[in-house]
Amino acid sequence: MLPFFMNDDAKYLISSYQSTAADLFTQSIAINAKVRQLSDVVEALSAKVREQEEELTILRSKPDTVKPKVTRTKKAQSDAGSF
pTM comes to: 0.55
What pLDDT score does 74 carry? 76
Parts of the chain with a pLDDT under 50: 1
Residue 47 belongs to domain spanning: 32-61
Q: Tell me whether residue 37 is in a domain.
A: yes
Query: Cβ-count burial of 21 within 10 angstroms (0-12 exposed, 13-18 middle, 19+ buried)?
Result: exposed
Is the dihedral angle over the CA atoms 8, 14, 17, 22 positive or is it negative? Answer: negative
Q: How many domains does the chain contain in total?
A: 1
Q: Tell me whether residue 27 is in a domain.
A: no
d(CA 65, CA 68): 9
The model's pLDDT over 61-82, given as tens digits with 9 standing for 90+, comes to: 887 766 667 787 777 676 666 6
Residue type (1 letter), 83:
F
Rg (CA), the chain: 36
What pLDDT score does 79 carry? 67
Q: Tell me whether residue 81 is in a domain.
A: no
What pLDDT score does 41 carry? 98
